Amino acid sequence: MYAIRRVKLEPQILADLRRRQARVDARSHAAGFKAQTEWNNARQSNCIKTVRSILARMTGDLERCMYCVDSHATDIEHFWPKSPYPDRMFCWSNLLLCCAECGRFKGDRFPLGLAGESLLVDPTVDSPWDHLDLDPETGAITAAYSIESGSWSERGERTVELLQLDRREALQRSYLRTLRRLTEALDQVLDSGTPEPADLLEFLRDRDDHRLLGWLLSPRGTCLPAVARLRDHWPSVFEDMIARVAQDGS
């Protein structure tokens, strides 16, 4: 999972979503109301088709799932599930794009904290690597551990548990392939001399199918020899790359 910038909708699309939400709000407490039926009736509209196209563009050229970043994103996902939370069904801030597997794992389950806040990481709001970590030996996504607090991220734990990010072998193999590709590419560039940050980032992004650069350039990524080499021998380049990745949300 990586940080995704949510784009602003054109006024007419946003107004259409708000009208649809207002109709749902007016009917949601009536007998026989079914959130899935409401959504099914709307999903073939030009408005929802346009929203899906925009979400697809937000995921990048490969249209990967916004949760696992591995499988193809197949359908609109309601971050706050539409059945228990129909008041968010057509809210633009609540719409993501995910694969069938992540959608099946998540379903209508939605972990909440004591104050009613979401304990699931939202890639369009949060910095996922603040809560999640990557095991470079297995490729499993795990909860991040904070040395400052001396504890595991609760949101990371609940997200990993809900989406089973630490138990999907095919996903782990894919992450390991991308991680290996990135470190080999980094070593290749560093062997040729002092790298230029922008060129190095572009070179790595072309090989980053799973958007691991945010993790790779984090303190946890320096456990890898290639990243430690960049940090220790070209610290200014390393810091420049961190700033660039933070700016564009990679």
* Residue 200 is assigned to a structural domain of this protein: yes
Domain boundary among 106, 121, 139: 106
* Residue 60 is assigned to a structural domain of this protein: yes
Mean pLDDT score of the chain, rounded to an integer? 92
Q: Which pTM value belongs to this model?
A: 0.88
Nearest to 55 by CA among 88, 12, 98: 98
* Residue 70 is assigned to a structural domain of this protein: yes
* Residue 132 is assigned to a structural domain of this protein: no
Rounded mean pLDDT of 70-93? 93
- Judgement on whether residues 177 and 96 belong to the same structural domain of the protein: no
Rounded mean pLDDT of 60-77? 90
- Judgement on whether residues 18 and 89 belong to the same structural domain of the protein: yes
Rounded mean pLDDT of 9-29? 93
**pLDDT beyond 70 at 216:** yes
**pLDDT beyond 90 at 193:** no
In which band, very low, low, confident or very high, does the pLDDT at 102 lie, cut at 50, 70 and 90? very high
Residues of 192-204 as b/e, b for ≥16 C-beta within 10 angstroms?
A: eeebebeebbebb
Rounded mean pLDDT of 222-249? 89
Domain boundary among 88, 106, 124: 106
Q: What per-residue confidence (pLDDT) applies to 249?
A: 61
Q: What per-residue confidence (pLDDT) applies to 61?
A: 82
**pLDDT beyond 80 at 125:** yes
Q: What per-residue confidence (pLDDT) applies to 247?
A: 77
Rounded mean pLDDT of 25-41? 90
Q: What per-residue confidence (pLDDT) applies to 250?
A: 59
Tokens encoding 161: 């548990």
**Does 220 or 95 have the greater pLDDT score?**
95
Q: Which residues contact 5 (CB under 8 A, 6 or more apart)?
A: 58, 124, 249
Q: What percent of the chain has pLDDT over 70?
A: 99
In which band, very low, low, confident or very high, does the pLDDT at 179 lie, cut at 50, 70 and 90? very high
Long-range contacts of 7-16 (CB under 8 A, 24+ apart): 7/54, 7/57, 7/58, 9/51, 9/54, 9/92, 13/47, 13/50, 13/51, 14/92, 16/47
Q: What per-residue confidence (pLDDT) applies to 195?
A: 85
Q: What per-residue confidence (pLDDT) applies to 248?
A: 72
* Residue 159 is assigned to a structural domain of this protein: no
Q: How many domains does the chain have?
A: 2
What is the residue range of 192's domain?
A: 169-248
Half-sphere exposure at residue 199, Cβ-oriented, CA atoms within 13 angstroms: 6
**pLDDT beyond 90 at 29:** no
C-alpha 143: how far from chain center: 14
Rounded mean pLDDT of 179-190? 93
- Judgement on whether residues 183 and 99 belong to the same structural domain of the protein: no
